[in-house]
Structure 1
Amino acid sequence: MARKSPAETSPVADFENSLEALEQLVEKMENGEMSLEESLAAYERGVGLYRRCQQALEQAELRVRLLSDPENPAAAEPFGTPRAEDV
């Protein structure tokens, strides 16, 4: 089975991969086996991973809000249901 390119990775998979990488990075840093320079590089990478995770969570929250908003007509329609203006 062919793997998806990074551009085709789903937001959920990207979040899970980023979170896992961040957890591994934190574990390495907590073990204290890195030099100062390696620790600084790991910290910088960790900040980037944290921001990716935070952004993915914000996007998911927005999607949930849009789908659960009673004033949003698209929220009440199941996917694939034609809207009146589409017919």
Structure 2
Amino acid sequence: MSERKQDQSIEETFAQLDELLEKLEASDTSLEESFACYEAGMKLVKACSDKIDKVEKQMMILQGGEEADGDA
């Protein structure tokens, strides 16, 4: 299942986070379920953050490459 999380798009991850939030907000969710949802949500947030960081680094590399080409 962890392999599937790696392959998810950011949009899919946000959709999964929305589902977890709905469970957390439900009045019939037990404390144990709430904790499991919170833990799963935090892992998803970290995965999203890692993906965003990776894209930002790639963008900086591309922008740096364009600036170097423009100066030449």
- The TM tier, using the shorter chain, reads 0.7 to 0.9
Structure 1 moving runs of 4+ over 4 Å = none
TM-score, structure 2 normalization: 0.74
Identity percentage of aligned residues = 29
| Deviations 1:27-74, CA, capped at 9 Å, x for gaps | 221233310000000100001000001001101111111111123x6x
Kindly provide the amino acid, as one letter, of the partner of residue 43 in structure 1: Y
Considering fraction of residues, name the structure with more helix: 2
Tell me whether 1:25 sits opposite 2:20 in the alignment: yes
User: What aligned pairs does 1:44-83 form with structure 2 within 5 A after superposition?
Assistant: 44-69=39-64, 70-71=67-68
Kindly provide the amino acid, as one letter, of the partner of residue 63 in structure 1: Q
Q: Which has the higher contact order (CA 8 A, sep 6+)?
A: 2
Kindly provide the amino acid, as one letter, of the partner of residue 23 in structure 1: D
Unpaired stretches in structure 2, ≥5 consecutive residues? none
TM-score, structure 1 normalization: 0.63
